[in-house]
């Protein structure tokens, strides 16, 4: 795969990604894919998806998990409902992530990703050690198949993420860095955060956002790539600095407006290709 291959976050039957046909139309060669519904996570479905991707000349680089009952309505709701942190859904969701990892393996994909949720800041909180244990369990399941587990950024500061990765102590636990999420959640300046977690990067998103008036208490605003506070050129230069050479995966979450989504992803492809030439030569 070429250095910094342009990718896009896609969906087959669920989630917020662009349609596969749109990815193909835009000339995209790599995708992260939102895991399909449970009924579709089988070898027959995997074979159909692989045949279509082969036809399109597209490679899956990461399969992302998401769960029923998650809500990103506001930051407090996100804290209560997202990922493997909420205790009442943790066991079922951990089992589902293992199932998603098995499906990713059917696709020949060596990476799964997820929002693990708001990890307790206090490392002495009993919930903290339980989330560490569940991350270890998931990493060990994936490690047996040669897969990495990439944690999507946003809900933790870079320092909090480093602490957690250190405590989980699994070589296959990586970061899926999303610069816009740092702004949307109000958890830190994205460029500084990339410098801190750079040696743990397994994958990245290219997404943009504007800071909220009260960061961390209310959502920032997601905007088209290049129109927010990330500074995409500085972001890419920092990725180069930390030695990241994997795909640049565009994420634009407006599935209810497919035409606008397609246009904005197309603009993002053009922007990234231009910056790639400028930075990599």
Residue 66: CB atoms within 10 Å: 19
Q: For residue range 22-48, what is the model confidence (pLDDT) as tens digits?
A: 999 999 999 999 999 999 999 999 999
Pairwise CA distance, residues 231 & 208, whole Å: 8
pTM attached to this predicted model: 0.96
Residue among 184, 189, 243, 180 nearest 212 (CA): 184
Q: For residue range 130-155, what is the model confidence (pLDDT) as tens digits?
A: 999 999 999 999 999 999 999 999 99
Given a contact cutoff of 8 angstroms between Cβ atoms, the answer to whether 4 and 247 are in contact is yes
15-19, 46-50, 90-94, 261-265, range with the lowest pLDDT: 15-19
71, 90, 94, 276 from 137: Cα distances, Å: 25, 12, 9, 38
Residue among 176, 165, 223 nearest 202 (CA): 176
**256, pLDDT greater than 90:** no
Q: For residue range 45-84, what is the model confidence (pLDDT) as tens digits?
A: 999 999 999 999 999 999 999 999 999 999 999 999 999 9
- Helix residue spans in the chain (DSSP H): 20-25, 43-56, 75-81, 87-106, 126-143, 158-168, 179-185, 190-197, 232-241, 258-280
**107, pLDDT greater than 70:** yes
Return the CATH number of 6-280, one of 3.20.20.150, 3.90.930.12, 3.10.580.10, 3.40.50.300. Answer: 3.20.20.150
80, 88, 96, 137, 145 from 91: Cα distances, Å: 15, 8, 9, 11, 21
Residue 83 DSSP class:
T
Angle at 60 between CA 220 and CA 69, to 5 degrees: 45
């Amino acid at each position: 795969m070429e250095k910094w291959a342009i990718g896009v976050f896609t969906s087959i039957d669920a989630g917020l990604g662009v349609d596969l046909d749109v990815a193909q139309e835009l000339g995209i060669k790599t995708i992260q894919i939102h895991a399909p519904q449970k009924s579709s996570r089988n070898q027959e479905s995997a074979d159909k998806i692989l045949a279509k991707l082969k036809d399109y000349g597209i490679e899956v680089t990461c399969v992302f998990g998401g769960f029923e009952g998650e809500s990103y309505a506001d930051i407090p709701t996100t804290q209560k409902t997202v990922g493997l942190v909420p205790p009442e859904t943790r066991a079922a969701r951990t089992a589902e992530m293992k199932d998603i990892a098995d499906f990713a393996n059917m696709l020949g994909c060596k990476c799964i990703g997820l929002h693990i949720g708001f990890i307790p800041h206090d490392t002495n909180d009993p919930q903290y050690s339980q989330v560490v244990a569940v991350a270890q369990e998931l990493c060990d399941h994936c490690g047996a198949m040669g897969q990495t587990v990439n944690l999507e950024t946003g809900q933790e500061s870079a320092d909090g993420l480093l602490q957690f990765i250190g405590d989980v102590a699994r070589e296959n636990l990586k970061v899926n860095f999303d610069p816009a999420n740092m702004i949307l959640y109000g958890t830190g300046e994205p460029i500084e955060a990339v410098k801190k977690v750079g040696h743990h990067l397994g994958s990245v998103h290219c997404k943009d956002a504007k800071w909220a008036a009260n960061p961390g208490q209310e959502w920032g605003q997601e905007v088209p790539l290049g129109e927010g506070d990330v500074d995409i050129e500085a972001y890419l230069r920092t990725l180069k600095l930390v030695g990241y050479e994997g795909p640049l995966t565009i994420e634009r979450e407006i599935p209810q407006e497919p035409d606008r989504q397609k246009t904005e992803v197309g603009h993002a492809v053009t922007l990234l290709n231009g910056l790639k030439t400028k930075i990599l030569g």
